[in-house]
Structure 1
Amino acid sequence: MSETNTPAADVSSPPTPISTPRTGGATLTQAVVAVVGLIALLALGLAWQSQQRLKQAEQELVRRQDSSQSDANIARDQSRQAQELARDTAAKVALLDAKLAEVALQREQLELLMQSMTRSRDENVVGDVEASLRVAMQQAAITGSAEPLVAALKQADERLARYKQPRLEGVRRAVVRDLDRIRSVSVVDVSTLTIKLDEVARQVDDLPLLAMGQPGTEPARSATATRPAKPVGSASAPLSPNAGWWERAWHDAGDKWDQLSSDVWREARGLLRVTRIDHPEAALMAPEQMFFLRENLKLRLLNARLALLSRQFDTAQNDLSEAQGMLDRYFDARSRKLAVTTELLRQVQGQARQVQIPRPDDTLAALSAVAR
């Protein structure tokens, strides 16, 4: 019976309301809110990221702008340097063009000379020898040395000796005569003279000046020699063994007085020194003037050295004469160092002369006679 009553009880009870649709709506709302929040967060993240990128872009733009400005400054400097270099290059190109034109002119002259020569072997030899001699003459005139002429004449002699032709024997004899005459000329050895001038310049700082006033040994000897001799009569007589104490004391006091007076006289005479000075201003120089005097002397020697190297012997002689005058006027002539320096300077003065190198006129005349 219990089993038959149970379904009836179930049928009579009211149905329980279902809450599923209401729960689903709340979940949907939460999902929408979550999605919206997520989208907002994403938007904020994107906005923040965009702002960071914008800042980075601005920083990069500023950096690039600074770099561009620096590059522009560098480019401007390089452009200015390039313009200066272009101007220098243009000047050098103009100079090279002038030299090239000169070389082209010389080349044309040489070509004309070569074209004017005949095809004969003898005339070719004559033309070559003459051309080499003229070039050697130009080199000798520029350098002031006879070595180019000597080398050209020796080469011509060897070539004529190999090329045995009777009509060229006169040319060979003329070459030998000119070679002997040029070898006999003493040419100035500029390198040796410059070495001597350098030695003189090194000794300038050690040379004693008249204004230094260093007394030598001669005045001391003079003072000693002029010291008054002790009179013979004033010499102390030897004491007898029986002399009293007061006699011995008087004798010792006299000897000490004589010695003291002698020393005082010697010192007094040593304070006075008589010296002959031809140029009073040389003895009244200040230390600064002494320094500048030595430097001026070195400059004179340097100018003479440069003049010798450029073979301007007249200018070198003037500078050497000025240097010699300064040595004679302001320096102590009793010094051995000054004597050695003066001797070196006089050697340079004697050898620094313009020497005229002989021309190979005999050889040129013989070549002209053969070429006719």
Structure 2
Amino acid sequence: MDKLTPDTPDSPVAPPPAPRPPSRAGAVLGVVGLLLAALALALGGLLWQRLSAAQEELARRSLDSSSTATEARTVAAQAEAQVQELQARLSVAEVKLSEVSLQRSQLEELMLSVSRSRDDNLVQDLESAIRLAAQQAQVTGSVQPLISALQAADQRIGRAAQPRLNPVQRAIARDIERIRGASLADIPALAAQLDELARQVDLWPTLNQVGPQAVAAQPAPGAPAPVAEAMPDADPAGAGAWAKVKTWWQRIASEVVHSGRDLVRVSRIDRPEAVLLAPEQTFFLRANLKLKLLNARLGVLARQLRIAQADLVAVDSALERYFDPKASSVAGARAAMLRLKRDLVDSPMPTPDETLAALAAAAGGR
């Protein structure tokens, strides 16, 4: 038997399969994936550079905030000293009021001890009572004591039934009408409004207050997952690998986008000093506003209306600069301060000049 050689036609060998050329769509997607990766790396580097610059700026602002906080403590100490000074002035005013009351009682006793005629006693008693009521009105800042004294004088003149005192009675009626028509500040109402504003300071939102962040849109639970592009049926293993790579890149891109949204807020900044206000500095800002409102209240009680107006102007400026003007509480506070500044009018206290002149004429005419 002859030996069969490999070259004999009796034992043919199948040739190896030719290599399949790579898919054109897969090559294009690979290039796109590489471009997206390069773009993601570039964006990451840019975000890292901006984050580093922001950290340096925040460190510098933190140093500035510490110095500003020290200044705020100094201003708070000065405001406390001013409050103590105003309290001392208020105590002095109370002492003066007690002295006026003592003088009134001494004058009444002296008038009772002196023997005069009935008409002279009435005229002098009315004059002294009206003058003391005018002094009381100057001290207390209210015209009610003066109006009460004039009404009491009118009633006494009516009971006396003296014709020569009729001009005094007409002068009293004109003075009462003029005093009631005078525009004076209502001290108790203004003090109550300032107390209400001081209680609302903690409710005013600042410009640097961060609101609730928006939640990123997530796919619905029943929504189908993204499916990779159809690959040739001849290479199912390559199609599965490509689908995994594409899903991985999509997940990385989604995480980068969400992280960028968490790190960066895009908004209009008109006042950078208000937006970069530190929380500690916000606390001292609110405390300073409370002290200014309390100082304005003490100024109102002490009849120092110009000082109270200056404090309200400072509080309004701080509201406009550091707090959110779109908030309803801030808008209401600014409107209330505008009304307060309009009501804090340092007008002179009206005096019963016509009544006093008529009383003097009646005493001299006798």
TM interval, short-chain normalised: 0.5 to 0.7
Larger Rg: 1
1:45 corresponds to: none
Equivalent residue letter for 1:302: L
The residue that corresponds to 1:179 in the other structure is 176
Change (3 A) 1:106 1:196: closer
Q: Give the whole-Å Cα distance in 1 for the aligned partners of 2:343 and 2:269.
A: 33
Q: Is the 8 A contact 2:185 2:345 kept in 1?
A: yes
Separation (CA, whole Å) in 1 of partners of 2:299 and 2:198: 15
Matched position secondary structure for 2:200: helix
Q: Which residue number corresponds to residue 289 of structure 2?
A: 297
The equivalent position to 1:207 in structure 2, one of 204, 208, 211, is: 204
Q: Which residue of structure 2 aligns with residue 358 of structure 1?
A: 350
Deviations 1:175-224 (A, max 9, x none): 10001111112332222212211221111112111222x2589xx8xxxx
TM-score when normalising by structure 2:
0.56
Partner of residue 270, structure 2: 277
C-alpha spacing 1:356/1:266, structure 2 compared with 1 (3 Å): same
Inter-partner Cα distance in structure 2 for 1:261 and 1:331: 37
Task: Pick one of 345, 348, 361 that aligns with 2:340.
Answer: 348
Counterpart residue number, 2:359: 367
CA distance in 2, matches of 1:156, 1:108: 17
Deviation at 1:111, TM superposition (A): 3.6
Q: How far apart in 2 are the matches of 1:196 and 1:351?
A: 11
The structure 2 residue matched to 1:162, chosen from 136, 146, 159, is 159
The answer on whether the counterparts of 2:111 and 2:125 sit within 8 Å (CA) in structure 1 is no
Higher RCO by CA contacts (8 Å cutoff, separation 6 or greater): 2
- Whether 2:136 is the aligned partner of 1:139: answer yes
Deviation per CA, 1:255-276: give whole Å up to 9, x if none: x999x99999899789552313
Name the SS for the 1:135 alignment partner.
helix
Corresponding residue of 2:304 = 312
1:47-86 alignment to 2 at 5 Å?
none
Counterparts of 1:105 and 1:206, CA distance in 2: 48
SS at match of 1:210: coil
Measured against aligned partners, the alpha-carbon deviations of 1:286-314 in whole angstroms (never above 9, x if no partner) come to 21111111111111111111111111111
Aligned to 1:125: 122
Partner of 1:152: 149
The alpha-carbon distance between structure 1 residues 123 and 108, as it changes in their structure 2 partners (threshold 3 A), is: closer
Q: Which residue is equivalent to 1:24?
A: none
Q: Distance in 2 between matches of 1:122 and 1:112?
A: 13
Structure 2: runs of 5 or more not aligned: 1-94, 215-229, 233-238, 240-246
| Residue segments in structure 1 that go unaligned for 5+ positions in a row | 1-95, 221-244, 250-255
The aligned amino acid for 2:332 is V
Paired AA for residue 273 in structure 1: V
- 2:168 counterpart letter in structure 1: V
Name the % identity. 42
Alignment root-mean-square deviation, CA: 4.1
User: Residue in 2 aligned with 1:52?
Assistant: none
User: Structure 1 residues 147 and 331 mapped into 2: Cα distance closer, same or farther (>3 Å)?
Assistant: same
- Secondary structure in structure 2 of the residue aligned to 1:356: coil
- Deviation track 1:318-353 (CA, whole Å, cap 9, x = no partner) reads 111111111111111121111112122222222122
The CA deviation at 1:127 is: 0.9
Contact map agreement 2:269 2:275 (CA 8 A) in 1 = no
1: CA distance, partners of 2:158 / 2:325: 60
- Going from structure 1 to structure 2, the CA distance change for 1:108 and 1:301 (only over 3 Å counts) comes to closer
Residue 246 (structure 1) shift: 7.4
Answer yes or no: is the 8 Å Cα contact 2:111–2:121 preserved in 1: no
**Separation (CA, whole Å) in 2 of partners of 1:354 and 1:135:** 22
Aligned letter for 2:340? V
Q: Does 162-171 or 104-113 show the bigger shift?
A: 104-113
Letter in 2 for 1:124: N
